[in-house]
Amino acid sequence: MSHPKILVTGGAGFIGSHVCVTLIEAGLRPVVLDTLVNSDPRSLQRVANITGVEPPLVRGDVRDAVALDRAFAEHGFDAVMHLAGLKAVGQSVSDSIGYYDVNVAGSLALIRAMERAGVRTLIFSSSATVYGDNQHSPIRESATYAAVNPYGRTKEMVERMAADLTRADQRWGIACLRFFNPIGAHESGLLGEHPHGPPDNLLPYVAQVAVGGRGHVVVHGDDYETPDGTGVRDYVHVMDVAEGHLAALRYAATHRGLLTVNLGTGRGASVLEVIAAFERAAGREIPVHIGPRRPGDAAAYWADVQHARDRLGWRARRNLDQMCADCWRWQLANPRGFDDPSPELTAKRLAAA
Ligand SMILES: NC(=O)c1ccc[n+]([C@@H]2O[C@H](COP(=O)([O-])OP(=O)(O)OC[C@H]3O[C@@H](n4cnc5c(N)ncnc54)[C@H](O)[C@@H]3O)[C@@H](O)[C@H]2O)c1
């Protein structure tokens, strides 16, 4: 395999587009399959602005067997990275069947298509939500499944499917990557996260407040048993997560069976620490309102990252200041995301900042 071709489902999305950058820079050829339900195809033009190569886009659904067979026949993939899915925890409660359909039935359809095409190397985007909210940190991969919402249970179900499959058929090599809290953006300022509607996650929200698009950040609870009372999470730079995908692919291409690893930094940061880091990056104050706790939020959790180091030789290299600086650069240059400027205008705004 000189320049392996990799199917990246969900490759136009936040993490998938950064994965494409890392794959191209490593000499691989990603092909994206995405419905664009939560992304913008211009993210792939930005991948081209960074790398010089625009990954081909197959506009299609992972649940669509015909579209999958066509893509496998046309491209002759060597491996698959499966990032397509729905990820809003709250929405997974109100539309659980929709989530099982896309996340579980979609993964099943993809695995069946891979089987038909004889492609048996898969990297799956799982999540720390499979651990639930009551584990001892640092959380090891051997912790019991205890997801507290349908989103987390969809990830658990796909992981279990992968475990059963690799047990029954030794030709498969699958890596399940449990992401903690991916944030940040590509350091160029050309590629980042642009949520449709109000952001679900802390950092895009903080970034929108910093740029003036929203008035203040609501901190959900400051009476947890943590050093400053606010929730503690393991934030990990999206480019570190992307590099984790490449390391997992290299591993899975040469090892059959199942590997399950955490992708985190191994250290927790509180909400107030993140806001302070963002204030340093942006050089401006972020107004904060303290609100009540949200039901189901854990006080604190972070990853045990030893397994990823031992098996993949991977560890997160970027710290919280860099995550915030990169996120700020992206937000400043692209306040309206991909709707906004041309890459030339983005470059001008960055030069002026
Ligand atoms: N961002 C996080 O905090 C986080 C944390 C843990 C795990 N994950 C997982 O990582 C993966 C990528 O997350 P992201 O943050 O880049 O989200 P994202 O929404 O930006 O990307 C997901 C992509 O999948 C596409 N998609 C959705 N349904 C599809 C379908 N049926 N067929 C084809 N494409 C479809 C969307 O259009 C989008 O481009 C998801 O599986 C998510 O569950 C994300």
Could you give the dihedral angle defined by the CA atoms of residues 72, 73, 77 and 79, in that order, rounded to the nearest 10 degrees? 40
Give the whole-angstrom CA distance, residue 307 versus residue 313: 9
Q: What percent of the chain is modeled with pLDDT above 70?
A: 96
> Which residue's CA lies nearest to atom 7 of ligand 1?
127
pLDDT 10s digits, 73-130: 999 999 999 999 999 888 999 999 999 999 999 999 999 999 999 999 999 999 999 9
CA of 84 to the centre of ligand 1 (A): 5
User: What pLDDT sits at residue 294?
Assistant: 85
> Which residue's CA lies nearest to atom 2 of ligand 1?
182
CA of 10 to the centre of ligand 1 (A): 6
Q: Which two tokens stand for residue 42?
A: 């211009």
Atom of ligand 1 nearest to the CA of 38: 37
Atom of ligand 1 nearest to the CA of 17: 16
Residue 343 scores a pLDDT above 80? no
User: What pLDDT sits at residue 129?
Assistant: 96
Q: Which two tokens stand for residue 274?
A: 């993140």
> Which residue's CA lies nearest to atom 6 of ligand 1?
127
Tell me phi and psi for residue 203, to 5 degrees.
-65, -45
Annotated catalytic residue within 99, 131, 151, 205 = 151
Asked if residue 4 lies in contact with residue 81, where contact means CB atoms within 8 angstroms, the answer is no
User: What pLDDT sits at residue 1?
Assistant: 52
pLDDT 10s digits, 288-319: 999 999 877 889 999 999 999 999 999 999 99
Question: Around Cβ 148, how many Cβ atoms within 10 Å?
Answer: 16
User: What pLDDT sits at residue 199?
Assistant: 80
> Which residue's CA lies nearest to atom 20 of ligand 1?
13
Asked if residue 155 lies in contact with residue 126, where contact means CB atoms within 8 angstroms, the answer is yes
pLDDT 10s digits, 156-176: 999 999 999 999 999 999 999
CA of 284 to the centre of ligand 1 (A): 31
Active site residue 151: yes
Is 5-352 CATH 3.40.50.300?
no
Q: Which residue has the higher pLDDT, 13 or 351?
A: 13
